[in-house]
Structure 1
Amino acid sequence: MELFLNWWIIKNKRPFLNNIYQTVYLQDIITRNKITNDFAVRLILKKIAESVTKALSFNRLTNIVKSAGISIGKQTVINYVGHMLDSYLIFSLQNYASKKTSPKYYFMDTGLLGLMLLDCRTAQLENLVAVELIRRYGFENVYFFENNIEVDFYVPSENLAIQVSMQVLEDVDTLERETKAFVKLNQFIPDTKCLLVTNSEETKLNCDGIKIDVVPAWKWLLD
């Protein structure tokens, strides 16, 4: 029976994940908190999924929902997102450079993110790194960094900065953008260890005296 169940999950991965999303997460959020506007909850989750990798404010979320013709207040949106955080459907990271700026949101399960987006390999890769960082260092020790530069993740206890990109070695513009962020960050926080997590590429770079390890995600996860 166990072998059959494992086979069924592998062969029917998307329906299985959708069932978890619909019956466990959504119903838990909606029923437990007595929410009557379930469409608003679904729309907010959809927009959070579309905004993974970017900071997202409650004002923007509220305006997006209102533009869909739903009458909703900012405080209600804040409450709904709070319910999603409480149910461990999503989690948030704060900006290390300024705690007053909007947070970034990630999904606890990268598979659920895949349910909501068509082409989401880049977002899923960054989400995967976020989940692993939380597992290693805890929610209170992982941030992103944004202050005229943007670095995907920063772990202050390790003085570790991480950028995530599907590939950089064959894309000059992407490589320049990612490495310049590390160089600028070192002007704010000297001697930062710099790690660039990719889909499959591996090398070592030196940019303006800053050493950058480029590591494929699978190898970093096994570290």
Structure 2
Amino acid sequence: MEVKRDSYLKQLIERKDNGMIKVITGIRRCGKSFLLFTILKRHLQESGISEDHIIEITLDGIENEELRNPKVCFQFIKDAMRDDSNYYLLLDEVQFMPRFEEVLNSLLRIRNLDVYVTGSNSKFLSSDIITEFRGRGDEVRVYPLSFAEFYSVYDGDYDDAWNEYMIYGGLPQLIEFKSERQKENHLKNLFENVYLKDVIERNKIQSMDEIGILVNILASAIGAPTNPTKIAKIFSSERQMSYTNKTISNHIDHLSDAFLISKANRYDIKGRKYIGANLKYYFTDLGLRNARLNFRQQESTHIMENIVYNELLIRGFNVDVGVVEIFGRDKEGKRVRKQLEVDFVANQGSKRYYIQVSLEMNSEEKQNQEMNSLRNIPDSFKKIIIVNSKSKPWRNEDGFVVMGMKEFLLNEDSLEF
């Protein structure tokens, strides 16, 4: 069953023949290879590009082991180009090749070659785009299926699709599995034997037990502010284990580099500055997060928050957690400083949206709790509350937009209401 991933194809089409290396990054098994070798290749063929002008190389396959040699691979590509018309190179899992940056920089000098590469680790790709490609690397980040993509091929109604997506996430391969046991076992095996093993081996991590526990802590704490110091105290008090702040910070970076988790910085909205402590962490795929916890911890509010965060990233926003500082009175009447939280501050160019995520707002107390931080933001950017319902967007008396999760997820222009 094929899922149309039109937004990613559109990004690649916009970059076609732009003289830059198109670098397709993302977590393993999110569909990068399918995007490259099926969706993009089909588009090229439908655009009139002949088969012999599309060069395909998959470096993670044993059949192409010799092409992991940089010089052999470069010569193979050169030999495949037999005339002066345009050629298109589709190169999968480029991090398997040593010195791949040199190869790609050399390919940039071939004027009739348009290069598309995939990789699964940002240490090898995203950071090197700037330093190694001298501004000639163009990244397209691919995510697991958004809910809209998942729902487009789901055989059932919205409610069933939503419940399944909250539990099993959006890795494309799971669409083919019919039973819950299949899905659960597949996700558990993937996390343990692919994702975590990959992080441990790539970064030569010796403390395997510690990073496994760290993953569990982060999985249990999605949407909650945390930092290495807090985590170190958990190891010390609950596990009687020594795990330094620096090591924890490094291991979190490794998990982020492998696209397993994302960090959301805290932003002081009134002070217009970032607050260094207590970041929030979200999982790129909730199915993997839930599998790590044996599908036990299903807190609807935090899972909703994670889904909204991922959806905003998919739509190309830069996303922070907002903090609004106010002054109030304590029980004794003393003036005290308080910090209110805005779930997300989403920025894209000149656009900004303040977004709260709420399971429900069925009482005046709950409404005030969700709206108080928005009411104290001293600017006129749009303020949105997303609730777990299928209701259409409407504006309340404060001018805030209230919309159901269904509208937010299935309408790519929902924030423009």
The alignment's TM-score, normalised by the length of structure 2, stands at 0.48
Alignment-derived partner of residue 101 in structure 1: 277
Q: Is 1:90 aligned to 2:261, yes or no?
A: yes
Alignment-derived partner of residue 130 in structure 1: 309
CA RMSD of aligned residues (A): 2.4
Q: How does 1:175-186 map to 2 (within 5 A)?
A: 175-185=367-377
Q: Distance between the aligned counterparts of 1:84 and 1:109, measured in 2?
A: 13
Q: Distance between the aligned counterparts of 1:78 and 1:21, measured in 2?
A: 20
Shift in Å, 1:193? 0.7
Instruction: Kindly indicate whether the alpha-carbon contact (under 8 Å) linking 2:390 and 2:406 is maintained by their aligned counterparts in 1.
Output: no
Q: Distance between the aligned counterparts of 1:5 and 1:199, measured in 2?
A: 24
Shift in Å, 1:128? 0.4
**Counterpart of 1:128 in structure 2: which amino acid?**
I
Alignment-derived partner of residue 199 in structure 1: 388
Shift in Å, 1:34? 1.9
Shift in Å, 1:4? 11
Q: Secondary structure at the match of 1:34?
A: coil
Cα 1:73–1:7 change in 2 (3 A) is closer
Alignment-derived partner of residue 35 in structure 1: 205
**Counterpart of 1:159 in structure 2: which amino acid?**
R
Instruction: Kindly indicate whether the alpha-carbon contact (under 8 Å) linking 1:143 and 1:153 is maintained by their aligned counterparts in 2.
Output: yes
With 44-53 and 2-11 compared, the bigger mean Cα shift is at 2-11
Alignment-derived partner of residue 216 in structure 1: 404
Choose the corresponding residue for 1:154, options 345, 360, 368.
345
Q: Is 1:74 aligned to 2:245, yes or no?
A: yes
Q: Distance between the aligned counterparts of 1:83 and 1:7, measured in 2?
A: 30
Gaps of 5+ in 1: none
**Counterpart of 1:206 in structure 2: which amino acid?**
N
**Counterpart of 1:44 in structure 2: which amino acid?**
L
Cα 1:41–1:182 change in 2 (3 A) is same
Cα 1:88–1:204 change in 2 (3 A) is same
**Counterpart of 1:214 in structure 2: which amino acid?**
V
Shift in Å, 1:90? 0.1
Cα 1:41–1:171 change in 2 (3 A) is farther
**Counterpart of 2:284 in structure 1: which amino acid?**
M
Flag the structure with larger Rg.
Answer: 2
Q: Secondary structure at the match of 2:315?
A: helix
With 98-107 and 144-153 compared, the bigger mean Cα shift is at 98-107
Instruction: Kindly indicate whether the alpha-carbon contact (under 8 Å) linking 1:62 and 1:74 is maintained by their aligned counterparts in 2.
Output: yes
Shift in Å, 1:96? 2.0
Shift in Å, 1:83? 0.6
Alignment-derived partner of residue 194 in structure 2: 24
Q: Secondary structure at the match of 1:151?
A: strand
**Counterpart of 2:388 in structure 1: which amino acid?**
N
Q: Distance between the aligned counterparts of 2:222 and 2:255, measured in 1?
A: 15
Aligned length: 215
Q: Secondary structure at the match of 2:247?
A: helix
Shift in Å, 1:11? 5.5
Instruction: Kindly indicate whether the alpha-carbon contact (under 8 Å) linking 2:320 and 2:346 is maintained by their aligned counterparts in 1.
Output: yes
Q: Distance between the aligned counterparts of 1:131 and 1:41, measured in 2?
A: 24
**Counterpart of 2:394 in structure 1: which amino acid?**
K
Gaps of 5+ in 2: 3-172, 325-338, 412-417
Cα 1:4–1:194 change in 2 (3 A) is closer
Cα 1:206–1:57 change in 2 (3 A) is same
Q: Secondary structure at the match of 1:44?
A: helix
Q: Distance between the aligned counterparts of 2:310 and 2:209, measured in 1?
A: 27
Alignment-derived partner of residue 334 in structure 2: none
The alignment's TM-score, normalised by the length of structure 1, stands at 0.87
**Counterpart of 1:143 in structure 2: which amino acid?**
D
Shift in Å, 1:201? 5.3
Shift in Å, 1:6? 1.0
